[in-house]
């Protein structure tokens, strides 16, 4: 649960012990950072609203043994993913983020992204 808190619910597949990633939220944006000691190719998967999609609850009220939800995406919405160094943002559907975004890392090179709901 601690690891999910520090990644805001984002998971990596395949996971390796030399893969380091974390995230924080501010003003509705997710700031994500990923680096690996060796070259890595995999997917970053985003969290869903589990209270609604899995437990079929209308609200995410506090429950015993609850896994909190942090940055969640909705399959029917669109999201912009951009690198803070510039360049055009990429637009993904929530369904694509739930399935995972393909990422390739060079050894020791940190990659950063900012994820935000798309402005329609």
Domain ranges of the chain: 2-117
Comparing CA positions, the residue from 84, 74, 78, 76 lying closest to residue 110 is 84
CA-CA distance, 33 to 118, in Å (whole number)? 20
Q: Which CATH class is domain 2-117?
A: mainly beta
> How would you write the pLDDT of the chain (120 residues) with one tens digit per residue?
767 767 888 999 999 999 999 999 999 899 999 999 999 999 999 988 776 677 767 777 676 767 787 888 999 999 999 999 888 999 999 999 999 999 999 999 999 999 999 987
pTM for the structure as a whole: 0.86
Residues 10/72, Cβ–Cβ less than 8 Å: no
Burial 60-82 (b: 16+ CB within 10 A, else e): eeeeeeeeebbbbbbeeebbbbb
Q: Based on C-alpha coordinates, what's the Rg of the chain? A: 15
Residues 29/117, Cβ–Cβ less than 8 Å: no
Residues contacting residue 16 through CB under 8 Å, at least 6 positions apart = 36, 38, 40
């Amino acid at each position: 649960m601690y690891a999910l808190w520090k990644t805001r619910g984002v998971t990596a597949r395949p996971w390796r012990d030399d893969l380091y990633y974390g995230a924080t939220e501010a003003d509705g944006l997710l700031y994500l950072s990923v680096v690996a000691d060796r070259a890595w190719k995999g997917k970053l998967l985003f969290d869903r609203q589990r209270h609604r999609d899995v437990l079929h609850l209308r609200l995410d009220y506090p429950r015993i043994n609850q896994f909190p939800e942090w940055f969640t995406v909705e399959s029917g919405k669109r999201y912009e993913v951009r690198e803070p160094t510039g360049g055009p943002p990429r637009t993904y559907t929530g369904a694509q983020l739930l399935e995972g975004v393909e990422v390739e890392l060079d050894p020791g090179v940190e990659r950063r992204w900012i994820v935000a709901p798309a402005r329609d």
